Amino acid sequence: MNEKSLVVLDNYDIEPKNLKRVRGVYYIETGTGMFLLNEYTNSKGRLELLEKMQQYIEDKGHQTDLVVRNKNDELMTQGPDGGFYILKKWFAHKECEADKIDDLVKVTVEMAKIHADTERMEGVIAEETIFQKGNNLVNLMRKHSRELQLTARYIDRAKNKREFEYQLKEGINRYYEQALRAEQYLAGTSYLKLLDKAYEKKSLCHGNVRHHNALIIKDYAVIINYIKAACDLQIVDFYKFFKKVMEKNNWNISFAKQLVEAYDKNRFVSDEEWKVFAALLLYPERFWKVANNYLNSGKAWLSEKNKEKLRMFLAQETGRGRVVEEFASLFR
């Protein structure tokens, strides 16, 4: 995105006072508020659906980075380069810091409240609307476990094994059993019934809540970037955020308890949903990613990044095990 793209601002009822370019997008200050201009490469239909969802969220009292329509009442504006651009509401904020529990609790509280307000979206989103669905976790876990087996068999056949491959195979011997336990744990829950209900109600999930998709404004958080929003079991949305936070904080048990408490306080979560959460925690997803990256990459040269991910996973395993035991034991 370059300066020539700024001509698209002529299509909006705003008067820019200050412009700042950061990482390929423009932050725009006006007398009536702040905005963000960036390129849009997804479909028009997807953008219309996002507008409907985010407008509903705003009507419920939450702030979002809602897309602004141009003078022609369109959500996208074509630039001189032929690309399409969108203008979004923006905020004076500080970035959510991944190691600050106060920030993370604010994000969790806001996520839980949005989940509570968007658990039933069937009256908002028309029945015929194509609404992306979250993955079926039963099928996904089974697929990932098969891939762990494939990786083990590949390493067994490999000649001149390197240290990384020995470590990976040793890990598979240990974590494949853990993966199977997670599958069995999930199978013993009401997950499939809960998922069917979530699809029926069109329960909304953000799909990618991360610290960089949350802004801290005074005493609350604003969650942004709903482009990956999907219909799914909402506890899965929380799990994705929780897992990322745990990995960035060495599976800090105090952080874990505070985040779970904050989510539970601000949205009713059934015991069956918490069991799904525990099953997800038990599955060694991070280890599977390392193994899968290895399986699908060129084997002549081993990725240093993948080596580092394996080292980090193993180094954090004591903390992860403590958190898994803490929450899995509550819902056995």
Domain boundaries, the chain: 3-92, 101-331
The answer on pLDDT for 327 being more than 60 is yes
Q: Give, in order, the Cα–Cα distances in Å from 19 to each of 84, 222, 307.
A: 19, 22, 41
Nearest one of 81, 65, 77, 80 to 12, comparing CA atoms? 77
Both tokens of residue 119? 């658990």
The answer on pLDDT for 128 being more than 80 is no
At residue 127 the predicted structure's pLDDT band, cuts being 50, 70 and 90, is: low
Nearest one of 207, 205, 159, 163 to 57, comparing CA atoms? 205
Buried b (16+ CB within 10 A) or exposed e, 62-80: bbbbbbbbbeeeebbbebe
Q: What is the mean pLDDT of the chain?
A: 92
pTM of the predicted protein model: 0.93
pLDDT in tens, 216-274: 998 899 999 999 999 999 999 999 999 999 999 999 999 999 999 999 999 999 999 99
pLDDT of residue 110: 98
At residue 300 the predicted structure's pLDDT band, cuts being 50, 70 and 90, is: confident
Interaxial angle between packed helices 253-266 and 234-248, expressed in degrees from 0 to 180 and rounded to the nearest 10:
160
At residue 124 the predicted structure's pLDDT band, cuts being 50, 70 and 90, is: confident
Average of per-residue pLDDT across 313-330: 88
pLDDT in tens, 258-270: 999 999 999 999 9
pLDDT in tens, 154-192: 999 998 899 999 999 999 999 999 999 999 999 999 999
Cα atoms in the Cβ-side hemisphere of radius 13 Å centred on 270: 9
- What CATH architecture does domain 3-92 belong to? 2-Layer Sandwich (3.30)
| Domain 101-331 superfamily per CATH | Aminoglycoside phosphotransferase (APH), C-terminal lobe (3.90.1200.10)
Nearest one of 99, 96, 59, 51 to 75, comparing CA atoms? 51
CA angle in degrees (0–180, nearest 5) for 137-140-146? 140
pLDDT of residue 23: 80
